[in-house]
Chain A
Amino acid sequence: EAQVTQNPRYLITVTGKKLTVTCSQNMNHEYMSWYRQDPGLGLRQIYYSMNVEVTDKGDVPEGYKVSRKEKRNFPLILESPSPNQTSLYFCASSLEASSSYNEQFFGPGTRLTVL
């Protein structure tokens, strides 16, 4: 089944404890992206990747890192999480980055709480 998977689905952690949220897609998509969703603010893009070894900042990259060593994986890294990073995170992928009509596939989400 074609899908985007994220792990963990739920995570409660404490301020400053490094964590990684994994994202994997099995559709051979070039483009991958991370969003966060907060009440009243909608979904906002954190980072994106056009292809392997090519990543760039989205609208709200502060406090996050990403890497794209393999086409299928795009982990989101929080080196020193803070309470304002408590949010619902979605990973997404698309066949190509430059096309304006390709649909984007989203993962099921990771609910992160930073105490």
Chain B
Amino acid sequence: DAKTTQPNSMESNEEEPVHLPCNHSTISGTDYIHWYRQLPSQGPEYVIHGLTSNVNNRMASLAIAEDRKSSTLILHRATLRDAAVYYCILRRGGSNYKLTFGKGTLLTVNP
């Protein structure tokens, strides 16, 4: 799977929007962009995914650059429960649905 680059850590205040960036300059045309998060002492949790168009769901929004070489996960109003490590993962279709987790971004939310 192609490589992604994320900041090691970010900080936000409660109730404010958070924009988590991800660079994936070697993305191929068939790669889906997935975001997962891992709350303290829990297993990873799916957040959102997209291919080309921006996506919204109840948890977050995903903004994908026109050239698809970068994307941004948007949490519209951060809460203390959003403090977690956020992983940006490229997923290519194939016979093994392996998720290749990088180091991710540790998001701290201040009250």
Contact = CB atoms under 8 A, between A and B. Distances in A.
Interface of A: 4, 31, 33, 42-43, 45, 48, 50, 56, 58-59, 90, 92, 94, 96-109
B98 A98 contact: no
Q: Is the interface of B mostly helix, strand, loop or mixed?
A: loop
B111 interface: no
Name, among B91, B95, B96, B97, the residue most crowded by chain A CB atoms within 10 Å (CB to CB): B97
A103 to B, nearest CB: 4
B45 A106 contact: yes
Interface of B: 30-32, 34, 36, 41-46, 49, 51, 91-99, 101-104
Give the residue among B32, B41, B43 with the most A Cβ atoms within 10 A. B43
A56 B44 contact: no
Residue from the set B36, B44, B49 with the largest chain A CB neighbour count within 10 Å: B44
